[in-house]
Amino acid sequence: MPEGGSTGEAKPTPEEVKVTRLREPREPGAVPSGRRKLRWAADAIADRVEARTVVVMLLAAAGIWAFAELAGEVLEGDTVAADRALLLLLRAPGNPADPLGPPWLEETGRDLTALGSTVVLALLTLAVAAFLWLRGLHGAAWLLLGATLSGMLVSFALKDLFDRPRPDLVPHGMHVATASFPSGHSMMAAVVYLTLGVLLARVEPRLRLKLYVLSTAILLTLLVGITRIYLGVHWPSDVLAGWTIGAAWALASWLVARLLQRSGRIERTRNQAGAGTL
pLDDT digit string (tens) for 61-74?
999 999 999 999 99
Whether pLDDT at 82 is above 80: yes
What percentage of the chain exceeds 90 in pLDDT?
51
Comparing CA positions, the residue from 148, 61, 96, 114 lying closest to residue 227 is 114
The C-alpha atoms of residue 257 and residue 267 are separated, in whole angstroms, by 10
Per-residue exposure over 247-260, b if at least 16 CB sit within 10 Å of its own CB, e if not: bbbbbbbbeebbeb
The domain locations on the chain are 54-270
pLDDT band at 274; cut points 50, 70, 90: very low
Q: Is 172 a catalytic residue?
A: no
Mean pLDDT of 114-136: 93
Catalytic residue among 138, 172, 175, 185: 185
The C-alpha atoms of residue 116 and residue 188 are separated, in whole angstroms, by 7
Mean pLDDT of 82-108: 91
Whether pLDDT at 15 is above 80: no
Mapped onto helix, strand or coil, the DSSP state of residue 84 is: helix
The C-alpha atoms of residue 49 and residue 43 are separated, in whole angstroms, by 10
Q: Which of 13-22, 73-82, 162-171, 200-209 is least confident?
A: 13-22
**Contact between residue 225 and residue 235 where contact means Cβ atoms under 8 Å apart:** no
Mean pLDDT of 262-277: 56
Give the CA angle between residues 268, 144, 260 to the nearest 5°.
45
Q: Which of 1-10, 96-105, 146-155, 219-228 is least confident?
A: 1-10
- Condensed to tens digits (0 to 9), the pLDDT of residues 176-231 reads 888 999 999 999 999 999 999 888 887 777 889 989 999 999 999 999 999 999 99
Determine whether 94 is exposed, middle or buried from the number of CB atoms within 10 Å of its CB (0-12, 13-18, 19+).
Answer: exposed
Mean pLDDT of the chain: 82
Mean pLDDT of 85-111: 91
The per-residue pLDDT for 275 is 43
Q: Which of 15-29, 117-131, 228-242 is least confident?
A: 15-29
Mean pLDDT of 237-243: 96
The C-alpha atoms of residue 35 and residue 24 are separated, in whole angstroms, by 13
Residue 215: how many CB atoms within 10 A of its CB?
Answer: 11
Comparing CA positions, the residue from 90, 86, 111, 85 lying closest to residue 100 is 90
Comparing CA positions, the residue from 217, 221, 253, 259 lying closest to residue 239 is 221
Whether pLDDT at 9 is above 70: no
Which sign, positive or negative, has the C-alpha torsion 155, 241, 219, 227?
A: positive
Higher pLDDT, 243 or 267: 243
Whether pLDDT at 40 is above 70: no
Catalytic residue among 138, 172, 175, 234: 234
pLDDT band at 50; cut points 50, 70, 90: low
